[in-house]
Amino acid sequence: MTDATGRSGRGGRTGSGDSTGTGGASDPVTRAFEAALYTADDSALDTGAAVLAADLSLVREARARGAEFVTQAWRRGWQPADVVRMVRRELSEEHAQLASGLIQDETARYGDGLPPRWQEQLAALPGRREPADRFLYATALLELFRLLLRLPALEPVGPAPGTAGRLPPPAPHEPRMLTRIRALLAKAEATQYPQEAEALTAKAQELMARHSIDEALLAHREHPAETPAACRIGVDAPYETAKAILLDAVATANHCRAVWNESFGFSTVVGFAPDLELVELMYTSLLVQGTAAMTTAEAAQRSGGRKRTKTFRQSFLMAYAHRLGERLRATSEHVVPEDSSLLPVLAAREVAVTGAVDAMFPSTTTTRVRGVDDSAGWEHGRAAADRARTAGHGAGSRTPSRARGGGGGRGSGPRGGGSRGD
């Protein structure tokens, strides 16, 4: 059996052992792969690229074989957005565009057999672009393939395309409540008036809380065997610790748990499917609002002669996340009714979510947040969080915790949540 490089499936190298039925010992593409993909040596990369660049047809053949590396990533638990995010972090935007084309071509063969979240991720991929220079094209391909080969296994958050895993039935249409929530958050992001944004966001979170309760009761009656699901949400630099804390607060507010993998730039959010969508909606909106408020506050500080921009921003976003966690926790008891028939349902779902998180991430460690040493940034961040306050339900700010063993394979991502912040 040979993989996309033409190597034998034996040997235990990451990414090999999957048959493509192509390549041979004397094949130029195989020789280029052999020379470049299993070493970090730049001269070996140049050697492999030179072999491919001798003929455009060889570059095209190499690109076609690259689909197998993408398929292997799916089998290891990666999804389109995860791959492109990692390529951006480790390589460049040009490589991300190249990866986008490979992903689009590879997933086209599944037709309609892709999960809904995959369809959304594919629609959000960057435009495909290939270098005009043949040698640069070959070099970029080999650099991309190197990265894809060493991607470790991740905790699966759904079946890979082409497997026997059960896909959720497609929703006939989006619930009207979600449409209203989207509209309110879009208006909150667009307005120039903090008080209006505050009112719109508060109303959106109130609707989210009620929608979550309605969905929980409906599932209890009609789908008692429903189990928690999971999704990944990007947590990108800079100031990713503050963003992870914010996502953790929003996730807990909506009956979910967030687990942060700093090394790969995402958090895994575990919860019941309707709540997962609410978490992503609110987190994205609060991040947009917080960034806009930070930019405005920073401009005012700089007009007064201040130059420490980085420390101001970091302290601002940390305070913003911390304060929103406090406010979400304070509104939780107000929104959830003390209904004797409802509380056992919510408690059972909380136990199910906790069990799912513990099964996916059996070992985590907590880290203390550092680097918040700008009092002006902290005060402005808390004020911005007050303006973006939500009238839903939630949890307090937490310090990110890390899974034991570093950022590699399964169970290795840091976890957003664990101990309460100081």
More confident of the two residues 223 and 249: 249
Residue 293 has pLDDT above 50, yes or no: yes
276 in a structural domain: yes
Could you tell me which residues come within 8 angstroms of residue 204 by beta carbon, excluding any fewer than 6 positions away? 181, 184, 185, 188, 282, 285, 390
Residue 414 has pLDDT above 50, yes or no: no
pLDDT of 14 reads: 41
273 in a structural domain: yes
170 in a structural domain: no
> Alpha-carbon torsion 325, 330, 334, 340, what sign?
positive
Shared domain for 124 and 194, answered yes or no, is: no
18 in a structural domain: no
Shared domain for 360 and 408, answered yes or no, is: yes
**250 in Cβ contact with 283 (< 8 Å):** yes
Q: In what order do the strands lie in the sheet with 257-261?
A: 229-234, 266-271, 257-261
**130 in Cβ contact with 104 (< 8 Å):** no
Shared domain for 277 and 319, answered yes or no, is: yes
403 in a structural domain: yes
105 in a structural domain: yes
- Give tens-digit pLDDT for 303-318: 666 666 778 888 888 8
Mean pLDDT within 95-107 = 94
Residue 13 has pLDDT above 60, yes or no: no
Shared domain for 261 and 352, answered yes or no, is: yes
**83 in Cβ contact with 73 (< 8 Å):** yes
**Residue 349 corresponds to which tokens in the numbers above?**
């779902």
- Give tens-digit pLDDT for 139-167: 999 999 999 999 999 999 988 887 755 55
315 in a structural domain: yes
Average pLDDT taken over every residue of the chain: 77
Shared domain for 267 and 378, answered yes or no, is: yes
More confident of the two residues 404 and 383: 383
Shared domain for 261 and 369, answered yes or no, is: yes
Shared domain for 186 and 298, answered yes or no, is: yes
**Residue 254 corresponds to which tokens in the numbers above?**
């909506």
Shared domain for 245 and 384, answered yes or no, is: yes
Shared domain for 118 and 215, answered yes or no, is: no
Binning pLDDT at 50, 70 and 90, where does residue 297 land?
Answer: confident
- Average the pLDDT over each of 25-29, 36-40, 319-323 and give the range with the smallest value: 25-29
More confident of the two residues 365 and 394: 365
Listed residues 111, 132, 149: the one ending a domain: 149
Listed residues 149, 168, 196: the one ending a domain: 149
More confident of the two residues 301 and 376: 301
161 in a structural domain: no
The partner residues of 232 in beta bridges, in order of sequence, read 268
pLDDT of 306 reads: 64
Record the pTM: 0.77
Mean pLDDT within 106-112 = 88
Shared domain for 251 and 319, answered yes or no, is: yes
Residue 356: domain span: 176-420
Shared domain for 315 and 379, answered yes or no, is: yes
Listed residues 114, 149, 184: the one ending a domain: 149
* Structural domain total, the chain: 2
Query: What whole-number percentage of the chain has pLDDT above 70?
Result: 71
